[in-house]
Structure 1
Amino acid sequence: MLKKLAQAEEKWGGTSRLIDRWLQARRELLVQYFKLAGLSRSDSPENSLPGLQQVHQFCDHLVDYVSEGHFRVINQIMHSFPEGEQVTDRLLPEVIETTDKLLDFIDKYSVADNDDMLLSLDQDLAELVDVLETRLGLEDRLLQVLYTFRIQRNEPQQAVAND
């Protein structure tokens, strides 16, 4: 996923603050995920779970990431240009499906108040990574639409500047 993120940053980065901010939020989410997953590996030498605070922080970041995607990025794509509404109409059911799964994880672990509640964290993180991978693939399709719109919108300005 980090390799795909680097490719996304290379492809779409620097074209708009919205895209850059979304990609940065994605990077932070993935880094936190991999730290948490690395800490919770049951085959680690210490066989230790992360602390409740680390899990809660990850859940907070996941909530922020999902909210940003839905209420800022998708909303802007949907309402900024006609093609955006068509694309979001097609992709939104799949995005919502992943959102529901992410929220299930958040609901379960954001209220964890003792270490016993973390006993299924390894399995849940393994399932979560599949959901994240699906979600990021859908987001990449949305990023491509946003990128194309930004490029098309800027082309007339560039053409005038080149004349």
Structure 2
Amino acid sequence: MPQRNHNPAEQFHAVESLLTNWLSERRAVLARYTALVVASDDLPGSASITQRQRQLCELLVDYVSVGHFEVYNELLHEAEAFGDDGSALATKLIGDIADTTDVILAYEQKYGSGDQYPETLIRDLSALGELLESRFVLEDRLIAGLHSNHRRQMQEAPEGTG
């Protein structure tokens, strides 16, 4: 977790690094999800599907946790360091994102233990995919509304101040 810093440039760079790692984790979630969807078409109820479900569930929980306990807080700290008020946007978007978390955790609870539900797997995977898409859009709006604005400020800052 980045150190909270009141220097806008240092806070920006710490958050930039955190976001780079977190978005890489997001790509891993998407890749794992896609592989599971493809495999479930061919081998529903197989041991391979069970293993892929566990791996996806572990990644999902890690991804969601880092978002809630690190990324969103650090984005808010960055807004404070830059002296702008992103809190209204952040509060709205973080609340909407939190709504998706409950569904993701319910999915993890159902499938993360290795129990098989072949009769609902395809439907649940489809719903999870739609939910992840909406969550990613909300997260991207949060990043754009806070961090991307600060990126522009950093690029526009006179040499030596950023």
Normalised by the shorter chain, which TM-score bucket? 0.7 to 0.9
Name the amino acid aligned to 2:121: L
Task: Return structure 1 stretches of 4+ with deviation > 6 angstroms.
Answer: none
Residue matched to 1:130: 130
Residue matched to 2:85: 83
Indicate conservation of the 8 Å contact 1:78/1:85, yes or no. Answer: yes
Measure how far apart 1:121 and its partner are: 1.2
CA 1:101–1:141: 2 relative to 1, 3 Å: same
User: Over residues 20-74 of structure 1, what are the superposed CA-to-partner deviations in whole Å (9 max), with x where a residue is unaligned?
Assistant: 1122111111000000011112xx4x66644322111110000001011111111
Residue matched to 1:11: none
- How many positions carry a matched residue from both structures? 141
CA 1:153–1:104: 2 relative to 1, 3 Å: same
Matched, 1:52 2:50: yes
Residue matched to 1:28: 28
Residue matched to 1:96: 98
Residue matched to 2:8: none
User: Over residues 80-127 of structure 1, what are the superposed CA-to-partner deviations in whole Å (9 max), with x where a residue is unaligned?
Assistant: 2243322211112211111111111011111234x4x34311110000
Question: CA RMSD for the aligned pairs?
Answer: 2.2
Structure with the bigger RCO (C-alpha within 8 Å, sep 6+) is 2
Residue matched to 1:152: 153
- Partner residue of 2:63 out of 62, 65, 69: 65
How far, CA to CA, are the matches of 1:47 and 1:109 in structure 2?
A: 13
CA 1:91–1:108: 2 relative to 1, 3 Å: same
In structure 2, the residue corresponding to 1:119 is in which secondary structure? helix
How far, CA to CA, are the matches of 1:55 and 1:118 in structure 2?
A: 12
Indicate conservation of the 8 Å contact 1:78/1:84, yes or no. Answer: yes
How far, CA to CA, are the matches of 2:97 and 2:143 in structure 1?
A: 13
Matched, 1:40 2:40: yes
In structure 2, the residue corresponding to 1:16 is in which secondary structure? helix
In structure 2, the residue corresponding to 1:160 is in which secondary structure? coil
Indicate conservation of the 8 Å contact 1:18/1:73, yes or no. Answer: yes
State TM-score, norm by structure 1: 0.76
In the alignment, structure 2 segments of 5+ residues that lack a partner are: 1-14
Percent of aligned pairs with the same amino acid: 34
